[in-house]
């Protein structure tokens, strides 16, 4: 009986996994071909095609209904709606933006204390990865069919090479990276980096070298592929990247985007672009892990003492710069940091009937451990969503594609 049950459960898991993989492959096939057929340039849907944007919008509505229908209950009988909990978490765009700005501002305060130089870089992909011109919408003749996901992989690979070079040269940095789309969906990066003042020029030379290695002699490369702003400490560094943070989350504090679109709708399309192509929008470079900061903010901290008490006060008051100092400074390596997240092994089985493994349960400093996750929660679903919007997704009419790039015409002939 046990063997039959295990085989039945294995079949259900494999069946669901197969259906999920098929659905994800179908979505990938659709968006790749919509992109290559030029259905997402500026005059046919900025950043993403209207079809992908509508599909993502309906997916979010279905997720909302699922959250409304699901509740969490702990061993004390406390019950919370997942939808209400989501509004208090980083799933809420406002909370996400506020946390990012807190960390960026903390980095700036640290740079002022140590008199580090703030540098702002913009790195763009070669022209062969761009499908359309921004103003006219005309096809770029040497576009080779590279998708936004592949362009992002190019930038990630380039950055890994830059980091390796900087490590060999002994140049230490900290800061943030923001990935943002051009009108046709091709990503480019904005980097706010802090470095020791005497090494700022050397950092710039390394980034410029790797950014211009591929097709660096093409027309317009000197002007568009690499841009640099050496930030005056009196002006502040946070303002240089804050608008890109806002543009990529909820459009807060911005009137219109570069193409004249309303900031809120433009931000929605940017978030959709990141979702459908699987692109990580924000990445912290250097500094302590944000997991410690988040875990410390989960507890009241009344019974803490010593370094954990100091760290908790810094996190609770959103003093990222103070937490950096407590953790060992901006250049401290992970093994040198004074506070780490605490993990415990869990034998609880996941959907594939395998142990879930190590789970974050608290923070530790030396031989002192503080648990931050004290309750055991159980999911309960009532299947009674209260969302007013219950319309299911329906395909929308696709706008006529513009003249396809040359490689598409050749492909269609075949």
Out of 35, 244, 293, 342, pick the active-site residue.
244
Out of 240, 259, 293, 383, pick the active-site residue.
240
pLDDT at residue number 399: 47
pLDDT at residue number 400: 44
pLDDT at residue number 403: 47
pLDDT at residue number 160: 97
Rounded distance between C-alpha atoms, residue 273 and residue 252, angstroms: 18
Rounded distance between C-alpha atoms, residue 299 and residue 313, angstroms: 11
296: three-class secondary structure by DSSP:
helix
Which string of DSSP letters, residue by residue, matches 86-122?
A: HHTSTTSHHHHHHHHHHHHHHHHHHHHHHTEEEEEEE
Ranges of residues in the chain with a pLDDT under 70 are 1-45, 258-260, 383-414
Rounded distance between C-alpha atoms, residue 31 and residue 26, angstroms: 9
Q: Could you tell me which of 402, 411, 355 has the C-alpha nearest to residue 41?
A: 402
Strand pairing category for 187-196 and 173-181? antiparallel
User: To 5 degrees, how large is the angle CA 216–CA 220–CA 224?
Assistant: 85
In the chain, count H helices and then E strands.
13, 11
Rounded distance between C-alpha atoms, residue 316 and residue 294, angstroms: 9
pLDDT at residue number 314: 96
Rounded distance between C-alpha atoms, residue 346 and residue 339, angstroms: 22
Q: Which residues contact 95 (CB under 8 A, 6 or more apart)?
A: 88, 89
Contact 237, 120 (CB under 8 A): yes
Rounded distance between C-alpha atoms, residue 286 and residue 337, angstroms: 12
Neighbours of 319 (CB within 10 A): 18
Rounded distance between C-alpha atoms, residue 146 and residue 383, angstroms: 42
CB-based burial label for 355 (10 Å; 0-12, 13-18, 19+): exposed
Strand order in the sheet with 79-81: 79-81, 70-74, 377-381
CB-based burial label for 91 (10 Å; 0-12, 13-18, 19+): middle
Q: Could you tell me which of 79, 136, 74 has the C-alpha nearest to residue 374?
A: 74
Element (H, E) at 192: strand 187-196
Rounded distance between C-alpha atoms, residue 413 and residue 407, angstroms: 10
Rounded distance between C-alpha atoms, residue 45 and residue 82, angstroms: 33
Rounded distance between C-alpha atoms, residue 245 and residue 282, angstroms: 8
Q: Is 244 a catalytic residue?
A: yes
Contact 202, 171 (CB under 8 A): yes
């Amino acid at each position: 009986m046990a063997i039959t049950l295990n085989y039945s459960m294995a079949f259900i898991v494999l069946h669901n996994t197969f259906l999920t993989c098929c659905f994800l492959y179908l979505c990938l096939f659709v968006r790749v071909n919509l992109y290559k057929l030029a259905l997402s340039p500026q005059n046919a849907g900025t950043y993403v095609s209207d079809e992908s944007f509508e599909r993502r919008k309906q997916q979010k509505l279905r997720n909302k209904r699922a959250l409304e229908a699901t509740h969490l209950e702990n061993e004390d009988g406390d019950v919370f709606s997942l939808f209400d909990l989501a509004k208090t978490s980083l799933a809420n765009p406002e909370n996400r933006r506020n946390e990012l700005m807190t960390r960026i501002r903390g980095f700036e305060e640290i740079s002022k204390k140590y008199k580090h130089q703030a540098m702002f870089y913009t790195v763009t992909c070669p022209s062969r990865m761009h499908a359309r011109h921004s103003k006219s919408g005309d096809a770029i003749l040497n576009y080779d069919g590279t998708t936004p996901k592949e362009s992002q992989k190019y930038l990630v690979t380039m950055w890994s090479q830059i980091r390796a070079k900087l490590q060999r040269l002994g140049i230490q940095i900290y800061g943030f990276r923001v990935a943002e789309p051009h009108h046709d969906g091709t990503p480019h990066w904005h980097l706010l980096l802090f470095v020791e003042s005497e090494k700022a020029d050397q950092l710039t030379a390394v980034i410029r070298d790797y950014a211009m290695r591929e097709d660096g002699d093409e027309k317009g490369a000197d002007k568009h592929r690499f841009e640099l702003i050496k930030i005056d400490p009196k002006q502040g560094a946070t303002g240089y990247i804050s608008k890109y943070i806002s543009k990529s989350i909820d459009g807060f504090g911005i009137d219109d985007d570069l193409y004249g679109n309303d900031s809120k709708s433009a931000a929605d399309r940017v978030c959709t672009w990141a979702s459908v192509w699987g692109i990580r929008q924000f990445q912290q470079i250097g500094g302590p892990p944000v997991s410690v900061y988040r875990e410390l903010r989960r507890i009241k901290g009344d019974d803490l003492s010593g370094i954990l008490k100091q760290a908790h006060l810094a996190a609770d008051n959103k003093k990222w710069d103070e937490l950096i100092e407590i953790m060992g400074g901006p250049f401290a390596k992970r093994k040198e940091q004074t506070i780490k997240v605490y993990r415990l092994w869990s034998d609880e089985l996941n959907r594939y009937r395998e142990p879930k493994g190590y789970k974050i349960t608290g923070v530790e400093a030396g031989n002192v451990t503080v648990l931050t996750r004290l309750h055991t929660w159980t999911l309960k679903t009532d299947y009674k969503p209260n969302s007013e919007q219950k319309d299911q997704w329906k395909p929308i009419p696709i706008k006529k594609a513009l003249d396809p790039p040359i490689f598409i015409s050749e492909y269609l002939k075949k």
